[in-house]
Amino acid sequence: MFKKTAIALYEWSRLLLLPAHWGVVRRDLFPLQSSQHPDTDHLQATIDWLCRAQDVADHGGVSAGYFCKRGWMHPYPETTGYIIPTFLCYAARQQDDLYLQRARRMGDWEIDIQLPTGAVRGGRGRIGDRPYPIVFNTGQVLLGWTALYRTSREERFLGAAVRASDWLLQVQDDDGKWSSHTYMDVPHAYHTRVAWPLLEVHALTGEGKYRTAARRHVEWALNQANPDGWFAHIELAPGEDPPTHTIAYTLRGLLEISAHLEELRQPILEIVLRASDHLLQALSDASPTGLPATFDATWRPTASGSCLTGNAQLAILWLELYRQQRDPRFANAAVSLLEGIKATQSLDARHPGIRGGIAGSTPIWGPYIPFAYPNWAAKFFADALMKKEAILP
């Protein structure tokens, strides 16, 4: 009890006593102003923040983020894995091998800490602390290893991806879901983001078992969807309303899968469009800060704050839907979400954990990762800006 009280006192003293934090709270107490800076300035600031997050963590991994109550966090295996493709994309955009080398360091760090089973460990604490395997984290690091192999053709990245994929197949349920070695030990609809990288491994190896496993999971996931586009098991924990973060995880995973499984493309697209229609309506009814952070099973908003991570993820999803469908609603919605995120990003804060970072929520005390700048929010924002640049030049 004493230890918990001491930790709580330390965290709140950090939050309240650092002047850099006051500016963030003050900003969110007043209406947002549109950013006067071009997307390129915001993209560069975000990448610079991610570089700092890697540098403070040492060894190649990326800090989970800057948390106002605790400072810079330990490196996070799950999100470091999917930050790799972001750096590879930025390296190609800039024609700068510095970012390629950073991505390679991330991939090598992930190999160094890969569990003997091939799985990726859970948690975002110290790497030596009681390692345990997690299905979702394993899938996210697969996205990094497969992207590195495509870029470098270095066999160690493909070898790590194959070992991880084989473990995923070993722990998959007969009906295609994953219900062990998962968050809260329950199945999740957002494991579509695990099936997607299995299909990437299939594309690189030609091994049919990875495609078969991915297809089984997709069929399970589609069976969780109701006619209104809502999914059972889409929440983080049973009984909670899901944040837009996990909703977007699920929909993006399905849309990416549809490029690999032509036979399921139509039913996937129908569900993604149905869910998107509800979210577009919610956005049109929302405040300028973006979508409400959480929804219930009737697509009714259940939070007043907005999840910036989910907003960035949905911008990516809708930019891709615009590319495929040419429906201007998706382009307009994506731009609206990105402008809202830009308005929350500080480009000139003195504090290196705040300057260029993307908060979990707006306001900063909102329901999703409050008083924090998680690395995955920055990752998805950078991805969204680069996708917008490619699709809406």
Angstrom distance (rounded) from CA 304 to CA 233: 23
Q: Which residues of the chain have pLDDT under 70?
A: 1-19, 22, 31-34, 125-129, 288-289
Sign for the CA dihedral angle at 70, 74, 78, 83 comes to: positive
CB 71 within 8 A of CB 353: yes
- Residues 130-187: tens digit of each pLDDT: 789 999 999 999 999 999 999 999 999 999 999 999 999 999 999 999 999 999 999 9
**What pLDDT is attached to residue 4?**
47
Q: According to the model, what pLDDT value does residue 38 have?
A: 96
The pLDDT of residue 69 is: 85
Overall fold of domain 88-223: Glycosyltransferase (1.50.10)
Write the CB contacts of 89 (distance below 8 Å, at least 6 apart in sequence). Answer: 383, 386
Q: Which amino acid is at 59?
A: H
Q: Is pTM beyond 0.75 here?
A: yes
- Rounded to whole angstroms, the Cα distance separating 135 from 121 reads 9
- Tell me the torsion sign for CA atoms 338, 351, 359, 80: positive
Buried b / exposed e along 326-349 (16+ C-beta atoms within 10 A):
eeebbbebbbbbbbbbbbbbbeeb
Whose tokens are 């970012």? That residue is: 99
What does the mean pLDDT of the chain come to? 93
Residues 270, 336 contacting (CB under 8 angstroms) = no
Residue 299, Cβ density class (10 Å: 0-12 exposed, 13-18 middle, ≥19 buried):
middle
Kindly list the domain boundaries of the chain, sorted by start residue: 40-75+262-393, 88-223
Q: What is the pLDDT of residue 3?
A: 46
Work out the number of other CB atoms within 10 angstroms of the CB of residue 9. 10
